[in-house]
Amino acid sequence: MFVVAKIEEDFQRALKSQDKSMVDTLRLLKAELLKKEKEGKGLTEEMALQVLRIQQKQRQESMTEYTKAERNDLASKEAEELEIIKKYLPAQLSEEKVKEIIGQVVNKLSEVEKGNFGKVMSGTMAALEGRAEGQVVSRLVKEHLSSKI
């Protein structure tokens, strides 16, 4: 429960320092983590990271929509929350490292499955364990498969 403990510790620290945006964001994260914990039988580290990834994606989508609507005040608030959430997620891998993992996954697949985008994508995402964004992985898998044709 390293991530959950870190969030709780930082939440207490933010309360004492009266950092409103940090408190608000961490309170929201704590609520989402508690909801996930009540859904199942406890909360594992991987489940906590999954909740954080979902929150990260929601912030990114909201930022995009607010920017399109020219609501820069709300977009900047979402960006601030996104930066706070990113502190608790594992570091993202570089594109070169992702390409290397895609190559490893393709080498493990049978000849019939090597051209199958879904098989390569699912194997790569499982190997990455959330250390890269799905859009980036999708683009790199498509590039890899198109270069092999």
CA–CA dist 80, 25 (Å, integer): 9
- pLDDT score at 1: 54
pLDDT digits (tens, 9 = 90+) for 3-59: 899 999 999 999 999 999 999 999 999 999 999 989 877 888 888 888 999 999 999
Q: What is the DSSP letter of 88?
A: T
CA–CA dist 46, 3 (Å, integer): 10
Task: Looking at 18-90, list the stretches that DSSP marks H as alpha helix, in order from N- to C-terminal side.
Answer: 20-39, 45-68, 72-86
CA–CA dist 113, 90 (Å, integer): 30
pLDDT digits (tens, 9 = 90+) for 115-149: 788 888 888 888 887 788 888 888 988 888 887 65
- pLDDT score at 125: 87
In the CATH scheme, what is the code of domain 2-86?
1.10.1510.10
pLDDT band of residue 112 (cuts 50, 70, 90) is low
Is the model's pTM score more than 0.85?
no
CA–CA dist 35, 137 (Å, integer): 29
